[in-house]
Amino acid sequence: MELNSTNVLSALGSVLDPVEKKDVVTLGNVKELKIEGNKISFDLIVKSAALQHKKRMEDACSFAMERNFGSEVTCEINVISKVPVKEEGIPGVKTIIAIASGKGGVGKSTVTANVALGLAKKGYNVAIVDADVYGPSIPIMFNVTDETPASMDVNGVNKMVPVEAYGIKIMSLGFFTEPNQPVTWRGAMVTKALKQMFFDTHWVDIDFMLVDLPPGTGDIHLSLVQSTSVSSAIMVTTPQDVAIADVVRGIEMFKLPNINVPVLGIIENMAWFTPAELPDNKYFIFGKNGGKDLAEKIGVPLIGQLPLIQSVREAGDAGRPAILQESTSVNKYFVDIVDKVLMLQEKREKELPHTSVVQMTK
């Protein structure tokens, strides 16, 4: 095939963007096309900041060029992310905090549930959106697995009413699936379902909405932070190296220019184990101070360290989170974390006076 702009665009017409469901030429995403001898160069616009998506699209375009014009042709592609502008916010919600982790099994949902209850005990109106669509744990932790959100008419629009437990308003995909039913939806379907939980739910005077994100750094995370006005994020990790490596990637995701969500700090879970019969001993089963050292290294606050305590797991399984155990060491650990979260969030709000500020003096 002769190397000219018409044929190049024809070849690129076979490259489909899985996010937008059309080919890149029809979408008008090929810009500044230039041909100089055997060199092809152009800008490629993608509406996702996910590194894996950008690399996938670049490889697909390079393959199309080589297949049509031969391996002697060189191709220079400048991939540019242009993601949709964030929506103004969720009606009825003042501050959204994402609770994230680099990998699963580090206690992210446990932290979400206990921080939410700690905020509620201080007088705030609190909501949780369980966005961990492939493993929704929040209904179990609040003992509401058999509940279903009601519906109501709000100014002529049908809205869902969140389930309530211990004063916390809760929405979770777990309310709409069978307990043992795997979620096999593709990313676009999951994103649509999550947006419905955010925007098709009747939220009223919510001071803090905590979003329990899925582990990792996938397209779901990007869609969430791009479609909602997330104020800040908290990273949860365990001390071992593999968890620390993943949480670094999570922090870097929030720093991406098209996301730009400040990380309030790191919570190190399962930091040590103290047996009941040896209360003065600490055993660092998963490594020592991994989250603390990381926080110091990258210059973000360490919000707190949580030991590995059997009653925390038992409380979550029983549907009564551990912070409700008054006058215990477990309660104090979580209360201290809640106080630190409030302090850091207040500091962030003061640094951004143009944003809506939740009064921290309740």
Report pLDDT digits (tens) over 134-187: 788 999 999 999 999 999 999 888 999 999 999 999 999 888 877 676 666 666
**C-beta separation of 268 from 290 below 8 A:** yes
- Bridging pattern class, strands 74-81 and 93-101: unpaired
Report pLDDT digits (tens) over 195-215: 889 999 999 999 999 999 887
Angstrom distances, CA of residue 131 to CA of 52, 109, 302: 21, 10, 24
Q: What is the pLDDT of residue 360?
A: 44
Consecutive sets of 10 residues in the chain, 362 residues long: mean pLDDT of each?
Answer: 90 89 91 92 82 85 92 90 64 93 87 96 96 86 92 92 96 81 69 86 96 76 72 92 86 80 93 85 90 90 92 89 87 94 90 48 44
Question: What's the rounded Cα separation, in Å, for the pair 45 and 61?
Answer: 12
Q: What is the pLDDT of residue 221?
A: 66
Q: What is the pLDDT of residue 222?
A: 66
Of 83, 72, 75, whose CA–CA distance to 12 is shortest?
75
Structural domains of the chain sorted by starting position, each given as residue range(s) with its CATH number in brackets: 5-81 (3.30.300.130), 93-351 (3.40.50.300)
Strand partners, 233: 98, 263
Q: Phi and psi of 217, rounded to 5°?
A: -140, 50
Of 298, 252, 247, 297, whose CA–CA distance to 269 is shortest?
247
